[in-house]
Structure formats: C-alpha cells, structure tokens
Amino acid sequence: MVNLKFGIELVPDRAISTLVEYAIIAEQNGLDSIWVTDHYCNRTVYIALTMMAIKTSKITLGVGVTNPYVIHPAWTAAAVATLDEVSGGRAILGIGSGDKATLEAIGIERKKPLTAVREAVTVIRRLLAGEVVNFEGEFFKLKGARLNFKPSRAIPIYIGAQAPKMLQLAGQLGDGVLINASHPKDFEKAIPLIKKGAEAAGKDFSKIDIVAYTCFSVAPDSKKAKDAARLVVAFIVAGAPDTLLKERGIDLGKVSTIREALAKGDFKKAAENVDDLMLDYFSISGSPDECIEKLRELIKAGITHIVMGSPLGPKKKEALALIGEIVKKLRS
C-alpha cells in the first residue's frame, strides 16, 4: 500500500477562507491531494486553489472537475499553468463532461460529451507542452494558438468518468481517472474499461492513477456520520440509472419518493428516504473503523488513490482530523 494516495474533495460553497483552513489541516494530516469542485454557482475554483497554494507547501491541488462547455480549453490550459506556477509545481487538472443539470441551468446543452472532452484534453495537453496549436475539431478550432509561458513540468490531466465510453476515453487520454463511486463493484466494472482504453492507445495501464472519488462521512458516532451522508446520497441515487439501482436491489419506490422530494426542494424528506442499502452502496460512511473496512475493500478492488468527498462528516474539522488518523492506519 506504499504508493497509495489519499485526498479530499472540497466544495467552494462556503467562504474561501474556510476552505483554506481545511486545506491547511489536510496537508498537516499528511494527505496527498485536494480537489476543488467546479460549478458556475459556487465560488470560483481557481481563486480557491490559488489561495490554498499560497497557504500550503506540499499538497497537490486539483480542479475536480472543470468541463469544456463553460470554459474554453485554451483558458483552462492557461489557468492550470498559472496555478502550477503559483503553487511551485503542485497543480493537477481534472476535466469531465460537466454536470448535466448544472449546465442546463445556464442554457448549455451537454452535446456529444465524449467528443467535447476528447478535443478539450487534446488541445490543453498541446498548449501545456508549449506547442503552437492548429486544431480543427467539431467543438474547438485553434489557429496558431500558443501560451506565452510554459509550465516547468507536464501537468497531469485526470478525466472524471463513470459511464463505459468515458471510462475508456479516460484510459486512452488521461494520466488519471476520477471515478465518482464508493462501492467495490463499481470499480470492478470500471477498471477493465480504463485498461481497455489504455491498451487501445498503446499506453502502460499501470501508470494511470485510478481514483475513487467517494461520498465520504466519518464521525465517532456511526449514526451521526451516516445521517450526514443521507442528503448527498439522495442526490446520487436520484441521478443514478434505474438499471443500476435495480441490479443493486434498491427499492425503486423509495427512489421515486426521493426524486419527487428533491424536485420540490424538500431535502428533509429526500434524506429520510435514503435507507442503509443506499448508504452502503453510494457512500463510505460511519465510524472510523467502519470507514477503514470499506476503504480496504476499495483498495483490494484495484484503485490507487482515494479522494474522500462530500460531506466528509457532520463536523468538517473533526472529520479532517479523523481522516488523518484513518490515512495513517491505512498506510501502516
């Protein structure tokens, strides 16, 4: 387990000064990476990451994830190169197709996500390598475009992926894959697809960082930790395909109640309808020992990097301290 990496996801839905405090604690607790989510409605991801870069010194800082619909890939290349400069070579880029509902809220249709992500990653990589880029894609057209500055290293590009074709694309093009899932069965399905993509591109699969980007909640009291995860799990369940839910034996009646409650903004009712099976499948939540047991199962399934995502726990700072202890135990 020596090469295993651990990180956290932070959502800029609160003051950046608070997120910076969390980032400092994460670094002090020996974590390897921080990923900041990107949605138009939250605080701007690059400002959050820049502030973290100033106040930390070792931890890697990732955009987790941006998308090619809201932000042009040339802009993303310049932004991530700037973050790399400010952080002394600690930037990582996560890119995906973007959250469908969030894009729709600002009038963007998520057309041809595979093509959009493929073109964006290609353009970003070439610009970061200092190339003069001429590119004639379906989404992006660049004519003699280049950055006026070049990062001192190859900045790793991770692709956010869950669905089969995106997982293969991630294997083909990515230095890493961010898989938004919490159950070993999902990774057992996903990893062969990533491998297939890597092999088709003649890449060494063992060099790809396979990241479990989990819904995580820990507290000394197992029930409190699980209760804190219920609303996040409600959103995951609501967005999951019915075929997957059926396969896992999840009660589709409860799922439709959750979907209706969320549509009406009744978060309490949505959370109350999340049962233990849903929690078990879509989150890692509970006491530190329960979380360790589930994390060990993910490690066995073949992942190389665990990102502990929202909500982290009912009390964030307490959760960050517990995560530090969990990581120490898993590394020993």
Q: Which residues bind ligand F42 (CB under 6 A)?
A: 37-39, 64-65, 67, 96-99, 102, 111-115, 160-166, 178-180, 213
Mapping DSSP to helix (H, G, I), strand (E, B) and coil, where does residue 7 land?
strand
Single-letter code of the amino acid located at 170: A
- Taking the complex as a whole, how short is the minimal distance between the CB of residue 315 and ligand F42, in angstroms? 23
- Taking the complex as a whole, how short is the minimal distance between the CB of residue 117 and ligand F42, in angstroms? 8
Q: Give how far Cα 189 sits from Cα of 10, 69, 112, 196, 303, Å.
A: 27, 28, 23, 12, 12
Residue 254 or residue 302: which is nearer to ligand F42 going by CB?
302
User: Which tokens belong to 49?
Assistant: 């990451």
Residue 78 or residue 108: which is nearer to ligand F42 going by CB?
108
Residue 181 or residue 327: which is nearer to ligand F42 going by CB?
181
- Taking the complex as a whole, how short is the minimal distance between the CB of residue 97 and ligand F42, in angstroms? 4
Residue 7 or residue 64: which is nearer to ligand F42 going by CB?
64
- Taking the complex as a whole, how short is the minimal distance between the CB of residue 43 and ligand F42, in angstroms? 12
Residues with Cβ within 8 Å of 237's Cβ and at least 6 positions away in sequence, in order, are: 245, 250, 255, 258, 274, 278, 282
Tally: H helices and E strands in the chain: 14, 11
Single-letter code of the amino acid located at 23: A
CA–CA gap between residue 162 and residue 160 (Å, rounded): 7
User: Which tokens belong to 328?
Assistant: 């120490």
Q: For residues 156 and 95, is the Cβ–Cβ distance under 8 A?
A: no
Residue 64 or residue 171: which is nearer to ligand F42 going by CB?
64
Residue 116 or residue 147: which is nearer to ligand F42 going by CB?
116
- Taking the complex as a whole, how short is the minimal distance between the CB of residue 179 and ligand F42, in angstroms? 6
Residue that is written with structure tokens 């660049």 in the block: 142
Residue 29 or residue 67: which is nearer to ligand F42 going by CB?
67
CA–CA gap between residue 121 and residue 302 (Å, rounded): 25
Q: Give how far Cα 253 sits from Cα of 244, 245, 273, Å.
A: 15, 11, 10
Neighbours of 189 (CB within 10 A): 17
- Taking the complex as a whole, how short is the minimal distance between the CB of residue 148 and ligand F42, in angstroms? 28
Q: Identify the sign of the CA torsion 40, 46, 49, 50.
A: negative
- Taking the complex as a whole, how short is the minimal distance between the CB of residue 113 and ligand F42, in angstroms? 4
